[in-house]
Structure 1
């Protein structure tokens, strides 16, 4: 998979792309990430890409034309790299988007390429959305200063689902929200030592009885989900 990220602040991604699982995936060519500086597609001397909104109001709006040029550049780069593939899906990170979840991460991980656009300021010109965007995505009902952190979340959540990115593929199967976990939350985890400040590891996990261990974990998962995210229990009654 190849992902282009269009942003006003490309330096924010430097450390992320060097670190941990995502860094190893890039080093092993399991994924390619290209960070595109939106300011490079400004056509004025100040390299600005924002203007006040028509009709008045607070804040500044990112102009449509620099965004369109940046997406066009990214699509052309992808065509050179993968000439027989369809154009990349273009995603705008915005509070007005549909809510991102694990199901969406799995869907995006099946794409050959993505272009993720980081919104900023008061938002982006609607004409860019109408002309070039395939989907608008939000990571939650709160406001951040820009779309960079949400883009990082989507990048990380999607990349870890790609083949060979995680050392143990079973890790994905038993994640919270995963299909194999019936879309519910993961239960509690324990590791060494067996006692911490008079808190012991549950006996069943030390028993070696894998059937009982699996049953215990399943019950813990159901109880935690019912307590903290009851809507997930309702959505997965077949489990």
Structure 2
């Protein structure tokens, strides 16, 4: 699977793309990463990618030509209906686990990482196929959100995780789209007077499964009651 990141800060990517599941996916050839510097698609000596907004106001706006031409360099005309071009934006829909599963079925994804006050609206009209947000807050650019989306996606690629069952029991998996996973414990069995639920060392897998289902429901009600409301 190909991931293309369009950015004016390519130096943000190498460490993250070489680490964790993103790194594993790359080393196993399940995913390839192409970080594209938008300044390479400028024609002036200063390699300008932004300008003042029409109508005035604070901040700078990323210009349309470098972004559109960068997208066209990695997405051919006959791929328009097959390759998602995702702009990370507070205007986008909040990323869900179901989106990660859907995007994992693609052969190629292009991420447009905005900066400054925003991106010229014509980019969205001309080349963007969907907008995604990672939450109702503002960060300085689309690079970190793009990496979050990529990380969520590669977890669904075959062979990337050490044990695919790990993904199947995650919070928000197919069977628990609107609930959290159970609480987890590991050694030591007691730490500073706090032990673990006895059922987890009982060897009774039916009871352990039941405990984990109940634990997931309890944690959802305690930490994310909004998920339970959405499931109704």
Deviation at 1:86, TM superposition (A): 5.5
Deviation at 1:21, TM superposition (A): 2.1
Deviation at 1:180, TM superposition (A): 2.5
Over the aligned positions, Cα root-mean-square deviation in angstroms equals 1.6
Give the aligned partner of residue 89 of structure 2: 94
- Separation in 2, partners of 1:60, 1:182: 39
Aligned positions of 1:218-233 closer than 5 A = 218-233=213-228
1:113 to 108, 112, 122: 108
- Separation in 2, partners of 1:100, 1:84: 24
After TM superposition, the structure 1 stretch with the greater mean CA deviation from structure 2, 228-237 or 62-71, is 228-237
2:142 to 138, 147, 150: 147
Aligned positions of 1:6-85 closer than 5 A = 6-76=6-76
Q: Residue 233 of structure 1: SS of its match in structure 2? A: helix
- Separation in 1, partners of 2:177, 2:9: 38
Instruction: Pick closer, same or farther for the CA change 1:45–1:104 going to 2, 3 Å.
Output: same
**CA deviation digits over 1:18-38, x for unaligned, max 9?**
112211210110111111011
* TM-score w.r.t. length of structure 1: 0.93
Instruction: Pick closer, same or farther for the CA change 1:102–1:182 going to 2, 3 Å.
Output: closer
Unaligned runs of 5+ in 2: none
**CA deviation digits over 1:86-119, x for unaligned, max 9?**
6421000111111111111111111111101101
* TM-score w.r.t. length of structure 2: 0.95
- Separation in 2, partners of 1:166, 1:86: 30
> Where does structure 1 differ by over 6 angstroms across 4 or more consecutive aligned residues?
none
**CA deviation digits over 1:25-58, x for unaligned, max 9?**
1011011111101111111111110000000111
How many residues in Structure 1 have an aligned counterpart in Structure 2? 232
Unaligned runs of 5+ in 1: none
Contact 1:60 1:122 in 2 (8 A): yes
Give the aligned partner of residue 204 of structure 1: 199
